């Protein structure tokens, strides 16, 4: 049985970036209003009143959320380009921009454009340096509440995304999908138009294309340096401008600018051959 997150979950975690002082002690989700938390708690209690969809196996914590969900089955809000159905006209409007390429929300600082206003709000914090979301356990700060929620799993050890093909679990759905592509799949559907090399993801392809074009889209806000990849910029900010976080080996206290470099270093301590 699948219990679908109610509409307040979806709205609060995907379509806005407001402070969320109300915390669910079961799954660590946070909410802007106490009433939203109360409705969310019903998804964790077997005795809670759940509303079932008659056309699929999903269940919901409120009648209103079920009503919105039924719009998907009725095809009330259907994309004429790809046939995908949505719960509301707003969701369909946002989705259509993936076909048209429309990005109506433009940053006044760097001119980068976005499909949704909340994406622009989050992006603007890069220029202002604003990080309003603070971890109460380690004082680390974040520009987005979603990033804070994911970070909390470092402290709780929670890895809710389990691979159906092996026994590994992950802190984010993105890490799980990446694991499946790299470990369990041999498909490489993305090909480079310059050299024909194949890749498992569009992300990998886009990074590779920069090698051919010479593009350096990641610019330092402190100096005139630009970089091909974001991790190169991140390393530069840390080493040249002391901005960011060092990753320290707990065995020899050697410092690294990239977490991946630290992991490889620790494996050498443990005698693992790379």
Residue 45 confidence (pLDDT) above 70:
no
For the chain, give the mean pLDDT: 80
What local confidence, expressed as pLDDT, does residue 18 receive?
A: 63
* Model pLDDT, residue 2: 40
Reply yes or no on whether the pLDDT at 43 is more than 70: no
Query: What tens digit of pLDDT does each residue of 85-103 get?
Result: 999 999 999 999 989 989 9
The region of weakest confidence among 17-21, 106-110, 216-220 is: 17-21
- For residue 242, what are the CA distances in angstroms to 113, 218, 234, 238, 258? 29, 17, 10, 4, 14
Q: What is the pLDDT of residues 15-36, one digit of tens each?
A: 455 666 677 766 667 777 777 7
Higher pLDDT, residue 95 or 257: 95
Domains of the chain and any CATH numbers? 2-74 (3.30.160.60), 105-184 (3.30.160.60)
pTM of structure: 0.39
pLDDT in the model for residue 250: 82
For the segment 108-128, the average pLDDT, to the nearest whole number, is 86
pLDDT value at position 129? 80
């Amino acid at each position: 049985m699948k219990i679908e997150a109610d509409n307040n979950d979806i709205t609060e975690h995907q379509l806005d970036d407001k402070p969320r002082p109300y915390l669910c002690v079961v799954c660590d989700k946070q909410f802007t209003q106490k009433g939203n938390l109360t409705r969310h708690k019903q998804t964790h209690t077997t005795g809670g009143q759940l509303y079932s969809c008659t056309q699929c196996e999903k269940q919901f914590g409120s009648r209103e959320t079920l009503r919105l969900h039924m719009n998907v089955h009725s095809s009330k809000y259907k994309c004429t380009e790809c046939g995908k159905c949505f719960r509301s006209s707003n969701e369909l409007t946002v989705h259509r921009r993936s076909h048209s390429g429309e990005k109506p929300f433009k940053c006044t600082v760097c001119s980068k454009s976005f499909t949704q206003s909340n994406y622009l709000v989050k992006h603007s914090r890069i220029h202002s340096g604003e990080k309003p979301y603070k971890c109460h356990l380690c004082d680390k700060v974040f520009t987005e509440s979603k990033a804070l929620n994911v970070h909390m799993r470092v402290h709780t050890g929670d890895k809710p995304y389990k691979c159906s093909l092996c026994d590994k679990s992950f802190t984010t759905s993105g890490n799980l999908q990446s694991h499946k592509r790299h470990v369990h799949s041999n498909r490489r559907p993305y090909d480079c138009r310059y050299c024909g090399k194949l890749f498992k993801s569009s992300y990998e392809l886009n990074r590779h294309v920069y090698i051919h074009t010479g593009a350096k889209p990641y610019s330092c806000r402190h100096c005139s340096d630009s970089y091909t990849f974001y991790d190169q910029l991140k390393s530069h900010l840390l080493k040249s401008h002391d901005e960011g976080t060092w990753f320290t080996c707990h065995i020899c206290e050697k410092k690294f600018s990239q977490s991946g470099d630290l992991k490889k270093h620790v494996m050498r301590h443990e005698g693992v051959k790379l």
